[in-house]
Each structure stands twice: as C-alpha cells, then as structure tokens.
Amino acid sequence: MTNGNLYMAIDVGTTKVCTLIAQVSPDGELEIIGTGVEPSRGMKKGLVVEIDEMKQAVVNSVAQASEGIERDLPGACIGVTGAHIISVHTSATLPNLNGDPNKVITRAEMDRVIQLSHPKVNAGQELIHVIPQNYIVDNVGGVRNPVGLKGHQLTVESHAVIGEATSFDNVVRSVENSQLQVKSMVLEPLASAEAVLSAEEKETGVVLVDIGGGTADLAIFIGGAMVHTAVIPVGGFQFTNDLVISLGIPYEEADKAKVAQGHAIPDEVEPDEMVAVKGYDEELPHMVRARDISRILNDRTDELLRLVLMKVKESGLRVMPPAGVTFTGGGANLRGLEELARDMFPGPVRIAQPKDILGLPEELKSPTYSTSIGILLWGIHHPTEQIAYRGINDNGSNGKGRRWLQWLAQFIGAARN
C-alpha cells in the first residue's frame, strides 16, 4: 500500500499528544495515512513535568497512528515551546570577498555568513533556529537570495531562536524509545505558521498567535520571513482554572463548560441561560449562570489580548502589520474571541484552521491541530537528514553531541516559503 517516503510528526502538547504519519508519493503527492490523538497529562506551560506519563501518551498516540502501516516508522519531527524560549537578532559580514570586478556571490559564501551570524549561547542554552531575514550586498539591502549577485561584501541579518537545552531534552526523552527516534525539532509557532498562513500574509506582514493549552505562542512575519517570536505563559489551562477557582467546580467540569458553552462576550449570552455542572460531590450537580462563566472568560481573554499587544510592541513594531492578527490553536475556538480581538487590534483578525491535506480526518480540520499539521509540513518542507538528532549524551549533557545548526544552510530560503 505505502510506497512513498514516510514522514512522522509528534505534537507533544499540554492537553494532547497528536501523531501524524504521512507519505509523499514519488510524484510528490502528500497524503496523511495515520493519525493518533491521546490526552496528555505530563506537561505544564509547554514543559514536560512528568516524563513517564508523557512517554505513555506518546506511545499510545504513535500506536494509534501506525496501526496498519507495515513499514518501519521514520524519525519524528517534534515541536518545542515554553516561556524559556527567546529570540534575538544577529548579523554578520563577510568583507572583501575578492578584488575581481566580476565577483559573484556563491552558495558557500552565503552559508559562511549565516554561520558567522549564529549568536553565542550560554551554557545550558541551545540554538534551535537561525533564520536569515535580509542580505545586504555592497550596501544594497533587502536582498532575498544573494547567490549569483555581483558583490564584494555580504552581510546577513538573521533571527535566532534560543531555549533551555534541558527543556528540549525532556521533550525528546518523552518521545524517544527503542523504536522511536527524533529527527528534528521546530519551534511550535513556526510550525503553526506553516499550516495556516499564506505566502502572501507572510510577505505583507502578519502576527500569528497560537493559543494552546499551556501557552500562547506568537510569531511575527514580515517580508516573507519570521522576524520575531514570543511565548506568553497563558493558554486554555488558565481560562479553565479561573472557572475552577471562581466557581468552585472541578477542572474537567469547568473545561467542558468552557468548550461547550463558553463565550468571551457576556452581553452575547442570554441573561437567564444556565449551565449544569457537577460539583466535587457528584451527587450534587449545580447550576451556574452562563453569563458568570462568560465574565470570567472575558477577563482572561482581555488580559491575553493585551499581552499579545505588548509582545508586538516589544518586537519593535510601531504598528500592526497590514495582514493583522491570525489566531489558531485550541484556545482560538473560544466563541467571542474574534470579536474581542477586532475591538482590540486595528486591521484584519481571523481564526485559522490548518490547510486541507489529502487524508486529513474531518475532526482534525480545526485550529486545535494547526501545530500538529504544521510540524508535519515543516518536516517535509525542510528535510533534515543532515541534522540527525543525536540525542542526549550518556553523561546527560547536551551540547557537543548535537549539531542542529549544521543543516541550517539547507533550509535557508525554504524558511521564506
């Protein structure tokens, strides 16, 4: 049945683990051939806190996805996020390439200048992406691809993404076992962007906000490249937890009420609408006013949108990019979010679900699965055979054994797609 190249993505999230297996046929057709979604319990705010529980959720999700696939599973592409992740701008210059008046910039020179732009990271940190945004050739800026241009001096301005090595290692350890290897990792909002943004939006300028269970991840694209990333430690968990605390109800009940009847705008809820929730004592269900739920959700949504605005300002942008703000992730399903966001942000606002892919089951065509599908697409569009994730050293240290960056030159340009 399956004869194309196989790819696997594992989205290890705060609320769910989603595994996708796809094949790309010899003529380039992409088809999803296996999906597995399993609740996850071992993660908080994008960080693995219970490795054994997480391992079990990953094993179950991969088992579901690989049912009926009688081939060896490929290495997985995984997503990473967390408040420890920071992004920095860097630049580097290769001067006086040579005196030949017809000197043309080569691929090797482009790779070298990118390599020079890698920022130094402290012990315990790991560089996961270096994305060139702009090249300057002999003082002429705005160059997308300098290879083949005449010039004697080449500068690159890059966007680098750095995080705590131990946090990345914990995600990797929760996935790897004797049968499963991690091949590459991608920053989650960069993956989500792959699944929901058009090339035109990235070119014009857009802010992508992925509201997950534990964090809201933000990525800003301008001129076709990612220029800023930020992670806000507020996700669906905090929305639900507010209901738990304010209404004195169990977490699962609060989450159900939020998903089924939650609305971020109290005035849009009928004043007499009631929601039945089970209390801690299951014998005693009680009725809660839907408007009270909505008021609580409204406060948290307002806070989150303000934090998004703050992060956009911190990125150095004075105005919102022209294509506005696109929300995705499970939290973006909250009714009323789009309307509140329209009041808060100038310009377009949209809630995005992932692009359709052959074989994608109906239930996965939702903002909840944007990151999962994005991780898969990233793994396919940015082939990483060269990175060969080498895992954690026997002595538990990271660093030397891993060389993600050797392959960066391979996807330069691809990051701009």
Ligand X SMILES: Nc1ncnc2c1ncn2[C@@H]1O[C@H](COP(=O)(O)OP(=O)(O)OP(=O)(O)O)[C@@H](O)[C@H]1O
Question: Would you say 16 or 159 has its CB closer to ligand X?
Answer: 16
Per partner kind, with CB cut-offs from 5 to 8 A, the member of Mg ion, ligand X, none near residue 255 is ligand X
Kindly identify the residues of this chain, within the stretch 202-221, that bind ligand X according to CB under 6 A. Answer: 212-215
Asked if 301 interacts with ligand X (CB under 6 A), we say no
Asked if 298 interacts with ligand X (CB under 6 A), we say no
Could you give the CA distance from residue 112 to residue 97 in angstroms, rounded to a whole number? Answer: 12
User: Nearest distance from residue 395's CB to ligand X, in Å?
Assistant: 29
Q: In this chain, which of 13, 132, 266, 354 binds ligand X, going by CB under 6 A?
A: 13
Could you give the CA distance from residue 379 to residue 382 in angstroms, rounded to a whole number? Answer: 5
Asked if 324 interacts with ligand X (CB under 6 A), we say no
Q: Which of 179, 186, 185 is nearest to 73 (CA)?
A: 179
Question: Which single residue is written with the structure tokens 């992406």?
Answer: 129
Could you give the CA distance from residue 197 to residue 209 in angstroms, rounded to a whole number? Answer: 11
Question: Would you say 113 or 210 has its CB closer to ligand X?
Answer: 210
Question: Would you say 146 or 212 has its CB closer to Mg ion?
Answer: 212
Per-residue contact string for residues 329-368; x = within reach of ligand X by CB under 6 A: xxx-xx---------------------------------x
Question: Would you say 205 or 262 has its CB closer to ligand X?
Answer: 262
User: Cβ distance 212 to 14 under 8 Å?
Assistant: yes
Full DSSP string of 203-244: HH-EEEEEE-SS-EEEEEEETTEEEEEEEES--HHHHHHHHH
User: If you ran DSSP here, which 8-state letter would residue 363 be given?
Assistant: G
Question: Would you say 18 or 131 has its CB closer to ligand X?
Answer: 18
User: Cβ distance 161 to 217 under 8 Å?
Assistant: no
Per partner kind, with CB cut-offs from 5 to 8 A, the member of ligand X, Mg ion, none near residue 194 is none
Question: Would you say 55 or 258 has its CB closer to ligand X?
Answer: 258
Helix/strand/coil for 39:
strand
User: Nearest distance from residue 80's CB to ligand X, in Å?
Assistant: 10
Q: In this chain, which of 84, 183, 228, 258 binds ligand X, going by CB under 6 A?
A: 258
Asked if 15 interacts with ligand X (CB under 6 A), we say yes
Per partner kind, with CB cut-offs from 5 to 8 A, the member of Mg ion, ligand X, none near residue 236 is ligand X
Question: Would you say 138 or 303 has its CB closer to ligand X?
Answer: 303
Buried b (16+ CB within 10 A) or exposed e, 202-230: bbbbbbbbbbbbbbbbbbbbbebbbbbbb
Tell me the residue nearest to ligand X as measured from the CB: 236
User: Cβ distance 375 to 79 under 8 Å?
Assistant: yes
- According to DSSP, the residues that pair with 19 across neighbouring strands are 10, 36
User: If you ran DSSP here, which 8-state letter would residue 333 be given?
Assistant: G
Q: Which of 180, 210, 235 is nearest to 327 (CA)?
A: 210
Question: Would you say 44 or 118 has its CB closer to ligand X?
Answer: 44
* Contacting positions for Mg ion (CB under 5 A): 13, 212, 371
# residues contacting ligand X (CB under 6 A): 24
Instruction: List contacts with ligand X (CB under 6 A).
Output: 13-16, 46, 212-215, 235-237, 240, 255, 258-259, 262, 329-331, 333-334, 368, 371
